[in-house]
Amino acid sequence: QKEVEQDPGPLSVPEGAIVSLNCTYSNSAFQYFMWYRQYSRKGPELLMYTYSSGNKEDGRFTAQVDKSSKYISLFIRDSQPSDSATYLCAMSPNQAGTALIFGKGTTLSVSS
Amino acid sequence: SQTIHQWPATLVQPVGSPLSLECTVEGTSNPNLYWYRQAAGRGLQLLFYSVGIGQISSEVPQNLSASRPQDRQFILSSKKLLLSDSGFYLCALRLAGGREQFFGPGTRLTVL
């Protein structure tokens, strides 16, 4: 079983839709969880960063972590064509200096 | 805030030729630095990371090497490129005490 699983998509939605992106993981030691957005031919950009379980909201984006289920989600409300990108989840255990473990990314396309 | 520069942005090289990719960082001191390769359908592969000048850890045995001659400079090299070295190379940094990573714009390498 891979440490982090992420459905690659592609996921296609109309403008204004609510988008749900998800990752599952197997290592219960993961404590830090991140979502990155990557536009085509660009470097990943940090979108959301959460520690342990719970929700975090930033504008149209909400990140959820359910450590009991080893499941994290990113919700995008009122999706826009500019949200079309690949979304990567990443996570890390508590130890300092440990590298991030990334999902392979989900490609999202929002049509106008 | 910190800025990551990568040079060159794109590169086309013949098989067997040498490689040198440069990453420089501004706006921070003593960061952890990382080299990743992103190939289509394979996600982000961690190649090397460095916690300080002259300190390099290799994650994947291959014909690539890395060096950190200065605190804010990270170099990825190869003596002889293989076709399989083609990909999108990303430099990333992690601030001291932080968990999240920030990525540079990337270098797209094509080996022919």
Q: How confident is the model over B42-77, as pLDDT tens digits?
A: 789 899 999 999 999 988 868 999 999 999 999 999
Which token pair is B21?
């990719």
**Which residues on chain B are in Cβ contact (under 8 Å) with A42?**
105-106
In angstroms, rounded to a whole number, what is the distance separating the alpha carbons of residues A52 and A35?
Answer: 14
DSSP chain B: --EEEEE-SEEEE-TT--EEEEEEEES-SS-EEEEEEEETTTEEEEEEEEEETTEEEESS-SSEEEEEEETTEEEEEESS--GGG-EEEEEEEE-TT----EE---EEEEE-
In angstroms, rounded to a whole number, what is the distance separating the alpha carbons of residues A106 and A89?
Answer: 9
- Residue of A96, A97, A104 with shortest CB distance to B43: A104
Q: Supply the pLDDT for residue A97.
A: 60
Strands A85-93 and A101-102: antiparallel
Which token pair is A54?
């719970």
- The reply to whether residue B106 touches residue A43, judged by beta carbons under 8 angstroms, is yes
- The reply to whether residue A34 touches residue B100, judged by beta carbons under 8 angstroms, is yes
The CB density around residue A10, as the number of other CB atoms within 10 Å, is 11
Q: Supply the pLDDT for residue A54.
A: 87
Closest residue in B to A8 (Cα) is B41
* Per-residue pLDDT band at B99 (split at 50, 70, 90): confident
Higher-confidence residue: B95 or A62?
A62
**Which residues on chain A are in Cβ contact (under 8 Å) with B4?**
43
Q: Supply the pLDDT for residue A1.
A: 64
- The reply to whether residue B43 touches residue A43, judged by beta carbons under 8 angstroms, is no
Distance to chain B for A69, nearest Cα, Å: 22
**Which residues on chain A are in Cβ contact (under 8 Å) with B108?**
41
- Provide the residue-wise pLDDT of chain A in tens; the chain has 112 residues: 678 999 888 999 999 999 999 999 999 999 999 999 999 999 999 999 998 888 999 999 999 999 999 999 999 999 999 999 999 999 988 766 677 899 999 999 999 9
